[in-house]
């Protein structure tokens, strides 16, 4: 058949699964990195306008 992708439908499914997995891993790493930066900033003490220092 001329309309069938190379590798067949199974190859397309594998590619879609690999893309989805890469997106999920990237999202999880992004959340982890933001958490590390946030808690690092909080650990150093973040002062609000009222002068209150917050720490974990």
Spell out the residues 6+ positions from residue 10 whose beta carbon is closer than 8 angstroms to its own.
none
**What is the distance between the alpha carbons of residues 14 and 54, in angstroms, rounded to a whole number?**
48
Tell me what pLDDT residue 17 has: 92
Integer CA distances (angstroms), 55 to 39, 44, 47, 50, in order? 9, 7, 9, 15
Chain segment 2-55, per-residue pLDDT in tens: 666 666 677 788 999 999 999 999 999 999 999 998 888 777 665 555 566 656
Q: Quick one: tokens of 32?
A: 């982890």
Can you give the pTM of this predicted structure? 0.57
Q: Answer yes or no: are the C-beta atoms of 31 and 39 closer than 8 Å.
A: no
Tell me what pLDDT residue 23 has: 96
Q: Quick one: tokens of 53?
A: 């220092």
Tell me what pLDDT residue 53 has: 63
Q: Quick one: tokens of 16?
A: 């879609």
């Amino acid at each position: 058949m001329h309309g069938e992708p190379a590798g067949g439908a199974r190859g397309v499914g594998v590619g879609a699964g690999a893309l989805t997995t890469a997106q999920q891993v990237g999202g999880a790493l992004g959340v982890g990195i933001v958490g590390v930066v946030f808690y690092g900033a909080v650990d150093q003490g973040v002062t609000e306008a009222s002068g209150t220092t917050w720490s974990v």
